Amino acid sequence: MSIIHRQLALADAEAGMMLSDDLLDGQGHVLLPQGSILTEQMLTSLKRHGIASLRVVAGELTPEQEAERHAHFRMRIERLFRNLDDTPANTALRRYISTYRLSRS
């Protein structure tokens, strides 16, 4: 099953929520790793670090929802590439975008 992510303002984050991605500071250093469960102390510390928003886990998709989402992205990718020829560069780009989008959906 795919995980549903939500981008939240730090003010809307609550203790007990799980980070869906590594949380980085302005220099790219990991403040909290993916999967961390937020605590009140962490939220206070993040405010001091100037963090404005973060991504949290909001739930999981059912297999039916996941299939719908994949179909939607496949259709969008088809539309994006509808007028392009099958040159190696276009084929590679299409494959890269498809792999990226369908594995993250």
Same domain, 50 and 20: yes
In this structure, the chain runs to a length of 105
d(CA 105, CA 90): 22
pTM, two decimal places: 0.61
pLDDT at 101: 81
pLDDT digits (tens, 9 = 90+) for 23-33: 998 888 999 99
pLDDT at 105: 52
pLDDT digits (tens, 9 = 90+) for 32-80: 999 999 999 999 999 998 899 999 998 887 888 888 988 999 999 999 9
Same domain, 55 and 19: yes
Backbone angles phi, psi at 3, to 5 degrees: -95, 140
Same domain, 77 and 29: no
Alpha helix stretches (DSSP H) within 1-105: 40-48, 63-80, 88-104
d(CA 6, CA 17): 11
